[in-house]
């Protein structure tokens, strides 16, 4: 969904959320907090707008659909990708390969600190395809990621 009051000519970024992120606010609030996916999307749209960007937020529980979103990002020449691939971060070589193939500046986000959790979460295939990775900041990690992506793209906040 594309939202916000940014100009039609604004560059678009994709914010991709993977499996179980539709359950934010319900699933393990002690780990992921009480914010919902709608809260994440609102935060992303508002933050992107501060840089004159449009955030196109998408969520899927299916690996192949996330790959299709990445391929679509290439076809539509989006400026960047913010991805929280959830558990697929730790298992999906296919997501890694899709991100590498499209050569779009990408930042990986995790709501929790994956390095303070189970050892199987310490490795991330998607992080290896991204120029930066953020974890442990809660949903504020998305705001930080968009700010970092804008800096990478040499875009300054608009006043």
Q: Which member of 32, 88, 96, 142 is catalytic?
A: 32
Across the range 24-42, mean pLDDT stands at 82
Which among 64, 18, 19, 15 has a CA at the least distance from the CA of 40?
15
- Greater confidence (124 vs 55) lies with 55
What pLDDT is recorded for position 122? Answer: 62
Q: Which member of 14, 88, 96, 110 is catalytic?
A: 110
How many domains does one find in the chain? 1
Q: How confident is the prediction for the chain on average, in pLDDT?
A: 89
Residue 7 domain flag: no
Q: What is the pTM of this model?
A: 0.89
CATH number at residue 111: 3.40.50.9100
Residue 90 domain flag: yes
Across the range 98-122, mean pLDDT stands at 84
pLDDT digits (tens, 9 = 90+) for 1-32: 344 444 445 699 999 999 999 998 887 666 66
**Helix 93-102 / helix 63-75 crossing angle, nearest 10 deg:** 0
- Catalytic (active site) residue 34: no
- Catalytic (active site) residue 110: yes
What pLDDT is recorded for position 1? Answer: 39
pLDDT digits (tens, 9 = 90+) for 137-150: 999 999 999 999 99
Per-residue CA distances from 42 to 7, 22, 57, 91, 143 (Å): 17, 14, 9, 28, 10
**Helix 140-152 / helix 37-50 crossing angle, nearest 10 deg:** 30
Which structural domain range is residue 68 located in? 12-152
What pLDDT is recorded for position 117? Answer: 63
Across the range 42-54, mean pLDDT stands at 97
Residue 145 domain flag: yes
Residue 4 domain flag: no
């Amino acid at each position: 969904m594309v939202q916000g009051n940014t100009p039609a000519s604004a560059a678009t970024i994709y914010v991709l959320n993977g499996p179980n992120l539709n359950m934010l606010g319900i699933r393990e609030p002690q780990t992921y907090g009480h914010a919902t996916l709608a809260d994440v999307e609102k935060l992303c749209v508002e933050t992107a707008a501060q840089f004159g960007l449009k955030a196109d937020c998408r969520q899927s529980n299916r690996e192949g659909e996330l790959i299709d979103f990445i391929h679509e990002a290439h076809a539509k020449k989006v400026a960047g990708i913010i991805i929280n691939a959830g558990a697929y971060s730790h298992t999906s070589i296919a997501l890694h390969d899709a991100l590498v193939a499209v050569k779009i500046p990408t930042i990986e986000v995790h709501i929790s600190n994956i390095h303070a959790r189970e050892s199987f979460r310490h490795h991330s295939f998607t992080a290896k395809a991204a120029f930066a990775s953020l974890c442990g900041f809660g949903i504020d990690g998305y705001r930080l990621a968009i700010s970092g992506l804008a800096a990478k793209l040499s875009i300054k906040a608009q006043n």
